[in-house]
Amino acid sequence: MFKLNQIIRKSTAIKLGMLLVASTVLLGASCKKTKTPDDTPGDPSKVFDKQGLLVNMADNIIIPSYADFKTALENLKLSFTNFKTSGSLTDFQTVKEKLHLAYLSYQRVSLFGFGPGEDASVRFNFNVFPANVTLINSNISSGSYDLKTISNIATKGFPALDYLFYGLNQAEADQMQLFLTDAKRSKYVNDLLNEMTTILNSVIDTWNSTYRSTFINSLGTDVGSSIGFLINQINYELDYLKNAKIGIPLGLKSGGKILPENCEAYYSGQSLTYAIETLGIIENMYLGKSYSGTNGKGFDDYLDHLGIQYTDGTLYNAIKNQFMSAQAKLSVLANPLSYQIETNSQAVTTAYQELIKLLVLLKTDLPSSLGVVITYQDGDGD
């Protein structure tokens, strides 16, 4: 339950105002900030447009990503309703297709774990894995459960749906029959989807009604600022990718004992696809790349504006190149990641190591260059 602990520690750390204030600012030794226009006081034309960056993040990345996820979740619910009516294998397969698309879309909002996303505990409610299969089956059998309790945190969201629609080494027709012969199973899925919809709608409503204005007008880089939230979440998500999605299944937190069953989306075997998607949204946030693919104002522009040097080049280029290296090492792998861990562990380890290199740049050099403090605790000292 490493991931659950991570979530609780992260949320606590951010809300209590940062017990780890010194951890990052002190680590910028490899960077050298040149004299830049942004250092010139009293001349607005030479100051980096932080609000432009935040507006781009809100209007072109965050809000559209939530909207897309809402559509994907609604499509999943509709497909399940259709399957319950028809009981056909075709409709069952459609549900699985829509489940994959919704899970993929979720990866694009997972990073936004601040503001409304944090208040609603989106990650906590949507994607704690591995699923507790024993408790899921017990809930269905008894028909008595409260999804809001901490004891049910690993019985809901996408990991539970992944198990319920795929099972382990189960023929598709047999898996479908479980729904046709047990009405409690369908009710359980309905309850999961309804909870997810309620939570997501509350997050979207808050962004659209009040939080966008708060977000784009928080122009500092101090603790609790929007830029501070973004930098912290970029790093939290990368830590989460490195550890929860790869390192733990690879056995790097269990003395070398591999735990392939701890992979995300273990039953559908889409773990690598989701890992690559996660790295992609991290890069998009860094670049300020919009949901439609347009490259807007991002942290790369901020670094370029500041002219931060890194070894014999710029930090801007160092981060760009390391994103490419990490993506290349992940891309040589194939789904399911659980199988790769069992049969091709060296290649998985290599990808993991490239993610560590990227994390060093994003967690030490980037925040120290921008005056941002990393406030979450990863637990492994990276």
Q: What does pLDDT average to over the chain?
A: 89
* Residue in the structure block whose two tokens are 């204030």: 21
Confidence check: pLDDT of 146 > 50: yes
Interatomic CA distance for residues 343 and 358, integer angstroms: 25
Q: Which residues pair with 295 in a beta bridge?
A: 289
pLDDT classification of 94: cutoffs 50, 70, 90: very high
Q: Are 116 and 203 in contact (CB under 8 A)?
A: yes
- Predicted confidence (pLDDT) per residue in 131-141, tens digit: 999 999 999 99
pLDDT classification of 375: cutoffs 50, 70, 90: confident
Report cis status (omega within 30 of 0) of the bond before 159: no
Mean pLDDT lowest among 42-51, 77-86, 311-320: 42-51
| Complete DSSP assignment for 48-89 | --HHHHHHHIIIIIIHHHHHHHHHHHHHHHHHHHHHHHH--H
Residue 291, pLDDT score: 77
Residue 38, pLDDT score: 53
pTM given for the model? 0.89
